[in-house]
Copies of this chain bind each other. A is one copy, B any other.
Amino acid sequence: MDGETQSLESIVNTNLAGKDLEEFNRIYYGRKNHHEVNLKDSSIAAAKDNDFEIAAYAFPAKKESTRPPRIVKVGIIQHSIAVPTDRPINEQKNAILAKVKKIIDVAGQEGVNILCFQELWNMPFAFCTREKQPWCEFAESAEDGPTTRFLKELCIKYAMVIVSSILERDEKHADIIWNTAVVISDTGAVIGKHRKNHIPRVGDFNESNYYMEGNTGHPVFATRYGKIGINICFGRHHVLNWMMFGQNGAEIVFNPSATIAAEAGSEYMWNIEARNAAITNCYFTAAINRVGYEEFPNEFTSADGKPAHKDLGLFYGSSYFCGPDGVRCPGLSRNKDGLLIAVMDLNMNRQIRDRRCYYMTQRLDMYVESLKRVLDLDFKPQVVHETEK
């Protein structure tokens, strides 16, 4: 990954200073100076020892006289795979679990209440290959597969809620496969799961060859620390997916993703979509992307006319949080494992809703009628021609 730009943040902080930096920050992030939160010396040392980045920012709310603050510490982890993809499946998975455990331990020691990883965090993103074997062997039970069992212990140890995006093997239903986020509570119980609603069919993202559109609706999980939803990866392009989590009462919506920097990639949209979702739905969002290059044993093509190759290009990390007002914190780097922590006052959600009134001015009745008409096979778009006048 040498030669890769570290981050937009690093470019800006290296080259701008004084009023220019403040004005850039105000226009880009929404805040002249970031609200950095101090970390424990032991966390900083562990991050150094294990070669991952760590940072923390506050998202404070105004004081209210009828409600106490609702401070929640939320962590997101981005990471690369741990051993080459030609190693046996369990060796690959266990190596990732062992590596990420060191980051989870730091999150636990920092008192993180809710932790979320990137999409399919315990495996390489092998769907570019279109090969079913050996990659489908990564699939496991959401309720009691090895990854969930591994995490349950850590949830109990740190009184932490963990959102774990995995490839699910649905043993009750003919062994089919889903892309599923499992929510494990601070007591070690699986609160529930959510299956990815929107499946891409583009470039290297041949996921529709592996699993179907999710059948779990838009569940919001009422954890001890707050109500959370999970918009998995490609769902971030779909504004209605984000919206339904808001309508169901989500206070924080995670977007565990796996997305790349390549020419036709998504990098310039990364700052846009999870932020727009935070703004229009007045809730916190967290955008989490994997990191690094993943080389596969056999070559594949990317449906772009280019020769066959063995990797998808850089997964650019850049994970970040955004508040319900649309103000975001700096992101993690493009090319390094990392832990990002947000100290959120969830009271901000209602404060922003009261201020901006987006839910009150949304005219949902009109749109239900309009969208119903769109579904009609005889749909007549509302088009106005000059000649009709």
Are A267 and B26 closer than 8 Å at their CB atoms? Answer: yes
Are B374 and A238 closer than 8 Å at their CB atoms? Answer: no
Select which of B189, B199, B271, B366 is within 8 A of A361 by beta carbon.
B199
Are A30 and B385 closer than 8 Å at their CB atoms? Answer: no
Are B213 and A244 closer than 8 Å at their CB atoms? Answer: no
Are B326 and A30 closer than 8 Å at their CB atoms? Answer: no
CB-nearest residue of chain B relative to A218?
Answer: B382
* Contact partners of A389 in chain B: CB under 8 A: 189-192
* Contact partners of A69 in chain B: CB under 8 A: none
Interface residues of A in 326-364 (CB under 8 A from B): 326-327, 355-358, 360-364
Determine if A200 is an interface residue (Cβ-Cβ < 8 Å).
yes
The size bracket of the interface on A is: 35 or more
CB-nearest residue of chain B relative to A24?
Answer: B11
Determine if A150 is an interface residue (Cβ-Cβ < 8 Å).
no
A199 → chain B, closest Cβ, in Å? 7
* Contact partners of A365 in chain B: CB under 8 A: 375
Are A386 and B187 closer than 8 Å at their CB atoms? Answer: yes
Determine which residue in A239, A242, A326, A365 has the highest number of CB atoms from chain B within 10 A of its CB, and name it.
Answer: A239
Q: Which of A14-22, A96-104, A115-123 contacts B (4 or more CB under 8 A)?
A: A14-22
Determine if A370 is an interface residue (Cβ-Cβ < 8 Å).
yes
In the complex, A14→B18 CA distance in Å? 14
Interface residues of A in 131-147 (CB under 8 A from B): none
CB-nearest residue of chain B relative to A355?
Answer: B202
In the complex, A234→B279 CA distance in Å? 12
CB-nearest residue of chain B relative to A266?
Answer: B326
CB-nearest residue of chain B relative to A385?
Answer: B222
In the complex, A264→B234 CA distance in Å? 31
Select which of B239, B364, B382 is within 8 A of A220 by beta carbon.
B382
Determine if A384 is an interface residue (Cβ-Cβ < 8 Å).
yes
Given contacts A20-B11, A239-B243, A272-B279, contact A249 B361 (CB under 8 A): no
Are B361 and A367 closer than 8 Å at their CB atoms? Answer: no
Interface residues of A in 247-274 (CB under 8 A from B): 247-249, 264, 267-269, 271-273
Determine if A176 is an interface residue (Cβ-Cβ < 8 Å).
no
Select which of B213, B220, B269, B367 is within 8 A of A279 by beta carbon.
B269
Determine if A315 is an interface residue (Cβ-Cβ < 8 Å).
no
Given contacts A219-B384, A237-B358, A247-B370, 11 further A-B contacts (CB under 8 A): A11-B24, A31-B268, A187-B386, A191-B384, A191-B385, A197-B366, A198-B363, A234-B361, A238-B363, A239-B276, A269-B326
A contact set with B: CB distance below 8 Å: 5, 8, 11-12, 14-16, 19-20, 23-24, 26-31, 183, 185, 187, 189-192, 197-202, 213, 217-224, 227, 234, 237-240, 242-244, 247-249, 264, 267-269, 271-273, 275-276, 279-280, 326-327, 355-358, 360-368, 370-372, 374-375, 381-386, 389
